[in-house]
């Protein structure tokens, strides 16, 4: 604000003055020297606002997940990962809490709250008649794309085990990404290898201990689907060749 006061000689002068809320909840005043010019006092107000930017009102420092009047150090300590990530992606021009807009602070607090929920979450996967819990805080792209396909695959795997032959694998389990990934996994596929699996797929198979669902002979049969004359590729090629041969017989 701009105050109008009289100097010792009785002349009217102007003084720019602002109040700022402090982290402890108290108020502190900052001001410029008096001036005879009202225009100069207006410039002084602008200068004070730049020198002493207002802090967001709200919770006291360190309280809850709200967007409180944190110091720069407190905010960075509390939201370090999110602030660093947003800064690297260009969503923030500064890592200082005092230099962020209210919307930026609110977005950071919201992201932190969501991340905490994910950290505390425990996902369950239905494998046959039992539910298997994944490690607390384990992330997946989505339940529909990561968990559900494994549950459906496991149902088919149990059916296949009643007649565990190479031919029945195609009929019962079929050709799908989860089945293909499981075959890669049994052959030693890991992330960043020739038989590559995504880190998410590999970690899910590991934590669910899917390998224990099949015995040594079943693993041998499944592995045969990926190599040699009994591979699914070879079987498909044989079927195509057989169709061609049948067509040729029909011509004569």
pLDDT of residue 88: 94
**Over 50: is that where the pLDDT of 65 sits?**
no
* Spatial CA neighbour of 48 closest among 3, 18, 14, 15: 18
pLDDT of residue 85: 92
Distances (CA, A) of 76 to 104, 171, 219, 225: 13, 56, 51, 53
Q: What is the pLDDT of the chain when averaged over all its residues? A: 82
pLDDT of residue 50: 84
Sign of CA dihedral 195, 156, 174, 246: positive
pLDDT of residue 241: 59
Q: Where are the domains of the chain?
A: 2-51, 72-120, 124-251
**Over 70: is that where the pLDDT of 249 sits?**
no
Say if CB 34 and CB 15 are below 8 A apart. Answer: yes
Query: DSSP letter string over 25-78?
Result: S-EEEEE---BS-HHHHHHHHHHHHHHSPPPPPSSPTT-SSS-----HHHHHHH
User: 154 falls in which pLDDT band (50, 70, 90)?
Assistant: very high
- Close Cβ partners of 84 (under 8 Å, ≥ 6 residues apart): 95
User: 82 falls in which pLDDT band (50, 70, 90)?
Assistant: very high
Say if CB 16 and CB 41 are below 8 A apart. Answer: yes
Average pLDDT, stretch 106-130? 91
Average pLDDT, stretch 171-175? 88
Say if CB 20 and CB 52 are below 8 A apart. Answer: yes
The 10s digit of each residue's pLDDT in 3-17 is 888 888 888 888 998
**Over 80: is that where the pLDDT of 54 sits?**
no
- Close Cβ partners of 121 (under 8 Å, ≥ 6 residues apart): 136, 137
The 10s digit of each residue's pLDDT in 229-241 is 445 545 545 555 5
* Spatial CA neighbour of 181 closest among 193, 164, 168: 193
Separation of alpha carbons 85 and 192, rounded Å = 25
- Close Cβ partners of 224 (under 8 Å, ≥ 6 residues apart): 166, 230, 231
């Amino acid at each position: 604000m701009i105050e109008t006061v009289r100097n010792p000689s009785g002349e009217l002068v102007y003084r720019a003055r602002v109040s700022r809320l402090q982290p402890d909840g108290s108020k502190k005043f900052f001001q410029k020297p008096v001036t005879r010019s009202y225009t100069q006092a207006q410039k002084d107000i602008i200068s004070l606002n730049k020198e002493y930017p207002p802090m967001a009102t709200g919770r006291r420092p360190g309280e809850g997940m709200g967007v409180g009047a944190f110091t720069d150090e407190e905010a960075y300590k509390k939201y370090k990962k999110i602030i660093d990530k947003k800064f690297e992606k260009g969503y923030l021009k500064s890592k200082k809490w005092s230099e962020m807009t209210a919307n930026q602070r609110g977005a950071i607090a919201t992201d932190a709250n969501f991340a905490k929920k994910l950290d505390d979450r425990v996902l369950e996967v239905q494998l046959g008649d039992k539910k298997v819990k994944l490690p607390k805080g384990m992330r997946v792209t989505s339940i529909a794309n990561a968990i559900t396909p494994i549950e459906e695959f496991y149902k088919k795997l149990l059916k296949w085990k009643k007649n565990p032959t190479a031919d029945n694998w195609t009929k019962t389990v079929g050709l799908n990404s989860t089945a293909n990934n499981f075959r890669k996994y049994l052959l030693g596929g890991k992330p960043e290898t020739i038989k590559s699996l995504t880190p998410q797929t590999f970690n899910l198979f590991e934590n669910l201990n899917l390998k224990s669902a099949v015995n040594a002979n079943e693993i041998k049969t499944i592995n045969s689907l990926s190599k040699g004359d009994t591979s699914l590729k070879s079987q498909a090629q044989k079927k195509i060749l057989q169709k061609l041969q049948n067509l040729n017989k029909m011509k004569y």
